Structure 1
Amino acid sequence: MANKKIIINDMPHETRVALMEEGNIVELFIERRGASDSSGNIYKGRVQRVLPGMQAAFVDIGLAQAAFLYVNDIVPHGHEPMEVRFADNGESEYPDDHNATAATKPAAKAPEKSHPRIAELISEGQELLAQVSKSPMGTKGARITNYISLPGRFLVLMPTSNHIGVSRRIEDENERSRLREMVLELRTDSLGYIVRTAAEGVGPDKILQEMAFLKKLWDGIQRKYEDAPAPSMVHQELDVSLRAVRDLLVHEAEKLIIDSRRGCQEICAFLDTFIPNLKETVELYEGSEPIFDHFNLEGDIFRALKRKIWLKSGGYIIIEHTEALTAIDVNTGRYVGKHNLEETILKTNLEAVKEIAYQIRLRDIGGIIIIDFIDMEKKSNQEKVFNALTEGFSKDRSKNHILPMSEMGLIQMTRKRIRKPLMRQLCSPCFYCEGEGHLLSGQTICYNIHREILRNCQDMAEGEVILKVHPQIAEQMLGEENHIICSLEKSLGRQVTIYPEPRFHFEEYDVLETHL
């Protein structure tokens, strides 16, 4: 974790948390008042609709949009503990420290009895306990699950499972066995646990203390569930600053710097309770310059919102977001190389790999990602690019899967999506083009005006036709498209007068007429 810092800009209306590696921001978390991330929150919900054809249901949990519950995210027979099946390496599907709040559910590869149909598990109007595994994104509601998980410092409690797992980051087999046996001996119930990386070398006293804390937390959630109305929240995940302490300071960073005295006190109080030896790593920033400016972060954040990213060599990448996937295109741009074309292309692709891995992580792009590299003739060069991309994502805390380069020079990959990507957090669709990403051309607008006037000319009274348009359209109609005005005046037998209207949208126009 050398040269890793957490920088927190804590304001009354917004909190921003940046993870820095070697002086560069690599991850950014934003929480705004009234729009906090719901991932990890637990709700008492009511089933609105059951969709047997999709094997899914919509559940009202009190958010603006109904949450989506898939059949495999439902614990059979209510909250009865069930055995978690294993992936090929003998570990549970979700032992990763950094996704500890994600639902722990069965791995698809293991042999199993067929899962019950959704109509056999829940019905409309039924109340249920569910945890948000993915926050709402755009028009999509939250993704929820019955497989509850409660993360602590050393353990993740899984009350709907009886499995004991160990984080993949603990590589020593003897230590893995020791921790697994310790938890098995200490637990007095059938609840499941995942041992986190921070537990490496920890003795039974601390593990037992955390077991008691998590069990008490779970008992409290169950009591709240019994008394709470539906829909309502029965447990709220930590705010973004304390999540950074729990998930980043413990495992990733060596120092935390925050610019709010109140926030600093809250973090220190949290550490006093759970991790007192880490208090020395927390520092209050009291400089006159804004903290993100002091660490040169604002420029990188602004750059992460751009569609086009220039590379140092003169090449560039284009990042396009669609509803189904994200497409990334690599271009040589101004870079012409020094020796031969294949070498130029390879250098551009390798430089693009570093920027792509960096931008995907910083922007928190998830789902399906297609990368179109510049075509390379040599198979060995294709493998170099693939290996470099795999290495570039080695530090990524989100689960990802990268396929080798295809014959068309494309690399397909997936990356786990939990919260909104940076673009959706900081931007909104263009109110001019309604998110289309383009406007009608000036020529097209001129021709549309021509057609509309001809279409309505029979209903027009005698007199002058007045046309109000955006100034750029007025200039075009009086210049290169003047033949349109001449044609209209000839067809109508009357004068057409153009008035530029600066307040108009580029595509907006108004046709008026004066009476004789």
Structure 2
Amino acid sequence: MAKDIIINSTVNEARIAVLDNGSVSEIYIERTKNKGVAGNIYRGKVVKVLPGMQSAFVDIGLNKAAFLHVADVYISDMDHFSLMEDRVANEIDDEVDVDENGGIKEKVFVPIEELLQEEQEIVVQVAKEPIGQKGARITTHLTIPGRYLVLMPTYDHIGVSRRIESEEERERLKNILLSIKPDNIGLIARTVSEGSEEQELRQDMDYLMRIWSKTQNHSQQGKVPSLIYEDLDLVYRILRDMTTDDVKSIIIDNKSTFMNMKSFIREYLPDLKMDLQLYENDMPIFDYYNIEIEISRLLDRRVWLKSGGYIVIDQAEALTVIDVNTGRYVGKRNFDETVLKTNLEAAKEIALQLRLRNLGGIIIVDFIDMEKEEHKQKVLQTLENELKSDRAKASVVNISPLGLFEITRKRVQDSLTKTLSEACPYCEGRGLVKSKVTTCYDILREVRRIAPYFSKKRIFVEAHSEVVDNILNYEKESIDEIELTYSIDIEIKPNDKYHLEHFDVIPLEKM
């Protein structure tokens, strides 16, 4: 499938969209003032060791201390391999098949208090961005990605991306890695390395070794905490990680960045066969390719399907819930076929929305109930097939007894929705505000509360005009009853500048 990469680059922000045959399939945004830290390597200091959680907090110079779990602590003694083998595949872009070089060693649990002490200086890499109230997730297992390879300077093993399916090609790449890798250094062949010659892989490894040498030098000098290796900016990460054979062109609207990209390609990616174009039209590039409207839709909870059905996406702190509905679609044959068609269409759209919105962690999907087991399997197969094209590791792990599809997707940073929006200052993120009727009754209760203390006086009420209309149209009897009971006079004034929930009840001296 032919892909185009569209880049909108300014001084403050870079936005990148991937088009599959003209349709938006992925969107990435990076802002200068809130630049991501995933992939960066820091020289940090342990500030707290928590044996009860088998974790530690490490100061790496960010706003919050970073979180380090015992499973992410590298143990140089290979007889105490800990859980490192299980975590390698989750710390780089590609799924990997790690070659154990001599069999699987027994995994031995080593308490974190035996590995780290407070005030200890350590070198760590950010595995996950700070998300919500949580600090960054870090690891002492370092990985430096290149064009074809991932260098693992602390992990003496080799691996090949599982997305390279040919066993013959996998064996060829393993043999090349064994012949070129330095002692005590690990290498992983990325998906894009399929078909590459030894010379190309060796050049990439030499480049990564130069980076590691500089990183080592920085790690031995300067203050603590400090940044000792910074991953590439978004635009150059896209060049490094996403320019595969199915990408036919990259189009960018910033001349300065365009020239820098050309220089980057000449120096680091000389074998890249890519049509790099400078966009020079007056119309904004994201408007020209109809990307801007797609970004605005990513903030909507409801996503309509072509059939007339729709899905509703609700993102919580720990998980995302997706509900599927038939909507306006009534089908042509019978109910079971209508449900199946809606669910199949929804499965494809859900996989797309996970990529577009960068939704990660636990995702629960409530498809429309299906009576036939074969229909459930069709939906499951469709969903799994669509998730295979996701660059992030995503899989369906279970179908619950209630028919809920449970999905996990690797989460490294905040979702696009969190990047583009913030909690509503009025509802404080609830997504709801009090109804006009509820606010109306709040006002009447407040008036009743203070009325006994201000007999024969006037009480002034000011609220939003819609709330005032509700009081005057539907609660006139309540107002009359309060005035008669407490011998007061109530004056009500509308104010459109007020929020629907806000009101003032002020006692005055005279009636």
**Bucket of the pairwise TM-score, normalised by the shorter protein:** over 0.9
Residues 345 and 84 of structure 1: CA distance in aligned 2, closer, same or farther (over 3 Å): closer
| Cα distance in structure 1, aligned partners of 2:89 and 2:225 | 30
Residues 385 and 250 of structure 1: CA distance in aligned 2, closer, same or farther (over 3 Å): closer
> Which residue of structure 1 aligns with residue 205 of structure 2?
211
**2:64 maps to amino acid:** Q
Deviates more, 1:463-472 or 1:184-193: 184-193
Deviates more, 1:41-50 or 1:154-163: 41-50
> Which residue of structure 1 aligns with residue 260 of structure 2?
266
Q: Does 1:433 align with 2:454?
A: no
TM-score w.r.t. structure 2 length? 0.93
Query: Is the Cα contact below 8 Å between 2:339 and 2:370 reproduced in 1?
Result: yes
> Which residue of structure 2 aligns with residue 13 of structure 1?
12
> Which residue of structure 1 aligns with residue 379 of structure 2?
385
- The structure 2 residue matched to 1:248, chosen from 242, 247, 251, is 242
Query: Is the Cα contact below 8 Å between 1:162 and 1:190 reproduced in 2?
Result: yes
> Which residue of structure 2 aligns with residue 195 of structure 1?
189
Query: Is the Cα contact below 8 Å between 2:2 and 2:248 reproduced in 1?
Result: yes
| Cα distance in structure 2, aligned partners of 1:445 and 1:335 | 37
Q: Does 1:35 align with 2:29?
A: no
**2:144 maps to amino acid:** L
Q: C-alpha displacement at 1:421, in angstroms?
A: 0.7
> Which residue of structure 1 aligns with residue 482 of structure 2?
488
**1:484 maps to amino acid:** S
Query: Is the Cα contact below 8 Å between 2:81 and 2:105 reproduced in 1?
Result: no
| Cα distance in structure 2, aligned partners of 1:484 and 1:46 | 65
> Which residue of structure 2 aligns with residue 163 of structure 1?
157
Residues 86 and 510 of structure 1: CA distance in aligned 2, closer, same or farther (over 3 Å): closer
Q: C-alpha displacement at 1:191, in angstroms?
A: 0.8
| Cα distance in structure 2, aligned partners of 1:81 and 1:223 | 28
Q: C-alpha displacement at 1:97, in angstroms?
A: 4.8
- The structure 1 residue matched to 2:89, chosen from 90, 93, 117, is 93
> Which residue of structure 2 aligns with residue 230 of structure 1?
224
Q: Deviations over 1:113-144 (max 9, x none)?
A: 42211111112222211111111112111111
Q: C-alpha displacement at 1:86, in angstroms?
A: 5.5
> Which residue of structure 1 aligns with residue 333 of structure 2?
339
Query: Is the Cα contact below 8 Å between 1:77 and 1:121 reproduced in 2?
Result: no
Query: Is the Cα contact below 8 Å between 1:349 and 1:385 reproduced in 2?
Result: yes
Residues 171 and 345 of structure 1: CA distance in aligned 2, closer, same or farther (over 3 Å): closer
* 3-state SS of 1:237 partner: coil
* 3-state SS of 2:491 partner: strand
> Which residue of structure 1 aligns with residue 302 of structure 2?
308
- The structure 1 residue matched to 2:436, chosen from 434, 442, 446, is 442
> Which residue of structure 2 aligns with residue 68 of structure 1?
67
Q: Deviations over 1:289-340 (max 9, x none)?
A: 1111111111221112100111122211111111121111111111122221
Deviates more, 1:290-299 or 1:76-85: 76-85
The share of aligned pairs that are identical, in percent, is 42
Which runs of 4 or more aligned residues in structure 1 lie more than 4 Å from their structure 2 counterparts after TM superposition?
A: 77-87, 94-100
Q: C-alpha displacement at 1:482, in angstroms?
A: 2.3
The total of aligned residue pairs comes to 507
* 3-state SS of 1:375 partner: coil
> Which residue of structure 2 aligns with residue 124 of structure 1?
118
- The structure 2 residue matched to 1:365, chosen from 359, 362, 382, is 359
Query: Is the Cα contact below 8 Å between 2:248 and 2:274 reproduced in 1?
Result: no
Q: Deviations over 1:414-438 (max 9, x none)?
A: 1111121110010111111000110
> Which residue of structure 1 aligns with residue 2 of structure 2?
3
| Cα distance in structure 2, aligned partners of 1:251 and 1:145 | 32
Residues 252 and 39 of structure 1: CA distance in aligned 2, closer, same or farther (over 3 Å): farther
Give the unaligned 5+ runs of structure 1: none
| Cα distance in structure 2, aligned partners of 1:92 and 1:50 | 24
* 3-state SS of 1:384 partner: helix
- The structure 2 residue matched to 1:322, chosen from 316, 322, 344, is 316
Residues 94 and 413 of structure 1: CA distance in aligned 2, closer, same or farther (over 3 Å): closer
**2:207 maps to amino acid:** F
TM-score w.r.t. structure 1 length? 0.92
Q: C-alpha displacement at 1:451, in angstroms?
A: 2.2
| Cα distance in structure 2, aligned partners of 1:410 and 1:479 | 46
* 3-state SS of 1:278 partner: coil
Q: C-alpha displacement at 1:177, in angstroms?
A: 2.2
Once the two structures are superposed, the pairs formed by residues 131-150 of structure 1 within 5 Å of their partners are 131-150=125-144
> Which residue of structure 1 aligns with residue 350 of structure 2?
356
**2:374 maps to amino acid:** S
Query: Is the Cα contact below 8 Å between 1:474 and 1:500 reproduced in 2?
Result: yes
Residues 452 and 252 of structure 1: CA distance in aligned 2, closer, same or farther (over 3 Å): farther
Q: C-alpha displacement at 1:77, in angstroms?
A: 5.5
Deviates more, 1:457-466 or 1:305-314: 457-466
> Which residue of structure 1 aligns with residue 178 of structure 2?
184
Residues 59 and 460 of structure 1: CA distance in aligned 2, closer, same or farther (over 3 Å): farther
Q: C-alpha displacement at 1:407, in angstroms?
A: 4.2
* 3-state SS of 2:163 partner: coil
* 3-state SS of 1:445 partner: helix
Q: C-alpha displacement at 1:146, in angstroms?
A: 0.5
Query: Is the Cα contact below 8 Å between 1:6 and 1:256 reproduced in 2?
Result: yes
| Cα distance in structure 2, aligned partners of 1:140 and 1:418 | 12
Q: C-alpha displacement at 1:111, in angstroms?
A: 6.1
| Cα distance in structure 2, aligned partners of 1:60 and 1:99 | 30
* 3-state SS of 1:15 partner: strand
Q: Deviations over 1:336-388 (max 9, x none)?
A: 22221111111111121121111111111111111111112111111111111
> Which residue of structure 1 aligns with residue 499 of structure 2?
505
Q: C-alpha displacement at 1:17, in angstroms?
A: 0.8
Q: C-alpha displacement at 1:25, in angstroms?
A: 1.0
Query: Is the Cα contact below 8 Å between 1:81 and 1:159 reproduced in 2?
Result: no
Residues 85 and 171 of structure 1: CA distance in aligned 2, closer, same or farther (over 3 Å): farther
Query: Is the Cα contact below 8 Å between 2:82 and 2:107 reproduced in 1?
Result: no
Q: C-alpha displacement at 1:280, in angstroms?
A: 4.5
| Cα distance in structure 2, aligned partners of 1:465 and 1:169 | 73
Query: Is the Cα contact below 8 Å between 1:57 and 1:70 reproduced in 2?
Result: yes
Q: Does 1:55 align with 2:51?
A: no
Residues 499 and 247 of structure 1: CA distance in aligned 2, closer, same or farther (over 3 Å): same
Q: C-alpha displacement at 1:78, in angstroms?
A: 9.9
Query: Is the Cα contact below 8 Å between 1:79 and 1:160 reproduced in 2?
Result: no
Deviates more, 1:486-495 or 1:368-377: 486-495
Residues 360 and 85 of structure 1: CA distance in aligned 2, closer, same or farther (over 3 Å): closer
> Which residue of structure 1 aligns with residue 43 of structure 2?
44
Deviates more, 1:400-409 or 1:259-268: 400-409
